[in-house]
Amino acid sequence: MPSLLRADAFLSPLEIDAAVTRALDEDLGRAGDITSIATVPEDTQGRAVLAARKSGVIAGLPLAEAAFRQLSPDIAITAHLRDGMAVQAGAKLMTISGDARAILGAERVALNYVGHLSGIATATAEFAGRIAHTKARVVCTRKTTPGLRALEKYAVRCGGGFNHRFGLDDAILIKDNHVAVAGGIKPVLTRAAQTAGHLVKIEIEVDSLDQLQEVLDARIADVVMIDNFDLDSMRKAVAMVAGRLVIEASGGITLDSAAAIAETGVDYLSSGALTHSVQNLDVGLDIEM
């Protein structure tokens, strides 16, 4: 079967297997699915359809596939779509045929992943659509569910967004507390430049135009994050930078404010809400014996 992953998104197959194993272990516990064992005769065959009950953008189908296959390697799966595709309510996503106990045992894990990740992809697609007329891109943050970061960042890509760093080891991002501890903009940037490898980008957060000027004078940073700037200050920041740095806008950005912020000329809009405040997409699995 062709890959169900979005082709230009990043998700290791090892991460899929590990995430599904954790979720199945959590759900099946020590004794397995005692309800299905008690009520469904061994070797009973079944057929089920995984479908969207609301319109949205799909993500998480590879995890659903892995969940069913972990409980029954011989199960037959027909994918009708792949991650990153927009669907209408009622669209069939996947048909699963084989051991009925395995289908029932993996059902909730499959639905949890597809519903949650599709919710993120759907929200991201709406956000990206609001700023599509500008050069800006929307990126997620590290405000993710513990243990699910790689999956949630993958879902952002499925929705047409982009990823900020995956962790503290990806890039240097100097926040206000780092500046306070280090003693100022110039000292903190100087120390970062002395330590960073040649492939490591340096980003610094500023909360005023005066701090931005200090960053520009230092000539060290690659990216500047303008945090909680109003629109007029954002436009002034873009003019001051004049293309010398990448500009990321952050701080309480919403769907309603996204377009106006993107129109100021910033390069990126970062939003933690893409991963921490979305509603699951309603998906369901129905048995067709």
pLDDT at 102: 98
Average pLDDT value for residue range 191-218: 96
pLDDT at 271: 96
Half-sphere exposure in the Cβ direction for 190 (13 Å, CA): 9
Per-residue pLDDT tens over the stretch 74-132: 999 999 999 999 999 999 999 999 999 999 999 999 999 999 999 999 999 999 999 99
The single residue of 108, 142, 186, 235 carrying the catalytic annotation is 108
Per-residue pLDDT tens over the stretch 141-185: 999 999 999 999 999 999 999 999 999 999 999 999 999 999 999
Binning pLDDT at 50, 70 and 90, where does residue 268 land? very high
Q: Which domains, and CATH codes, for the chain?
A: 13-128+279-287 (3.90.1170.20), 130-276 (3.20.20.70)
| 133 token code pair | 């007329």
Q: Report d(CA 7, CA 11) in Å as an integer.
A: 10
- In the annotation, is 47 catalytic? no
Q: Report d(CA 35, CA 287) in Å as an integer.
A: 16
Q: Report d(CA 85, CA 79) in Å as an integer.
A: 12
- In the annotation, is 227 catalytic? yes
- In the annotation, is 143 catalytic? yes
- 206: pLDDT strictly greater than 90: yes
Average pLDDT value for residue range 260-273: 97
The single residue of 175, 176, 219, 230 carrying the catalytic annotation is 175
Give the dihedral sign, CA 15/21/25/30.
negative
Per-residue pLDDT tens over the stretch 112-123: 999 999 999 999
- In the annotation, is 92 catalytic? no
Binning pLDDT at 50, 70 and 90, where does residue 2 land? confident
